[in-house]
Amino acid sequence: DCYGFSAEKSTEAVKFFREYYETKGILENEMYEGMDGVLQKLKEQGKFLMVATSKPEKFAHNILAQHDLEKYFDFIGGSFTDGSRITKIQVLDYVLKTNEIKNPQEVLMIGDTKFDIAGAKHFGLKSLAVTYGYGTEKELLEREPDFVANSPKEILQIIK
């Protein structure tokens, strides 16, 4: 959308990005300050934590392991590099069905992009937009999330 690429050009750009990301970019991730403490506290509270990312699933596992965060999650679901299960809706559908979620209204989707908030609404999940990630605060608020957190610490104030 941003660059006006054709479908073919977009596919090529994604291919190049993934080649870089798989070897170098994956090592350039940084954990948000305090996030490990937030995840630890949520697990201590007995929360069932799942990842639903548009990143390829294998990258998600590697990134979480790199920061010693994988241990906090009960399930990690992501996209496939073959072009299947690539949208947030597809990933969320997979994660919810695989985990046999029967009461979506009891699930809170925490996300930093408009796609996370839109995906939550699509499935009837509550949504918490975090403004310190990739999406802009403006695009997040336009999707009307149920909650907003400006830092990892604020997540704990919202989830009680």
Identify the domain containing residue 9 by its residue range: 1-30
CATH of the domain at 151: 3.40.50.1000
Same domain, 8 and 42: no
Same domain, 21 and 39: no
- The single residue listed with the structure tokens 């949520």 is 42
Residue-wise pLDDT tens digits, 67-114: 999 999 999 999 998 878 989 999 999 999 999 999 999 999 999 999
Split at pLDDT 50, 70, 90, the class of 139 is very high
Same domain, 113 and 101: yes
For the chain, how many structural domains are there in total? 2
Same domain, 113 and 57: yes
Same domain, 26 and 38: no
Q: In residues, how long is the chain?
A: 160
106: exposed, middle or buried (Cβ count in 10 Å: 0-12, 13-18, 19+): exposed
Query: 107's torsion region: left (phi>0), alpha (psi -120 to 50) or beta?
Result: beta
Same domain, 16 and 87: no
Same domain, 24 and 67: no
Same domain, 12 and 38: no
Bridge partners, 52 (sequence order)? 77
Same domain, 60 and 77: yes
Mean pLDDT, all residues of the chain: 93
pLDDT of residue 61 exceeding 80: yes
Same domain, 25 and 41: no
Same domain, 77 and 14: no
User: Residue 23: phi, psi to the nearest 5?
Assistant: -105, -35
pLDDT at 127 (0 to 100): 98
The CA-based angle 41-101-68, given to 5 degrees, is 35
DSSP structural state of residue 26:
G
Same domain, 24 and 43: no
Bridge partners, 109 (sequence order)? 127
pTM of the model: 0.87
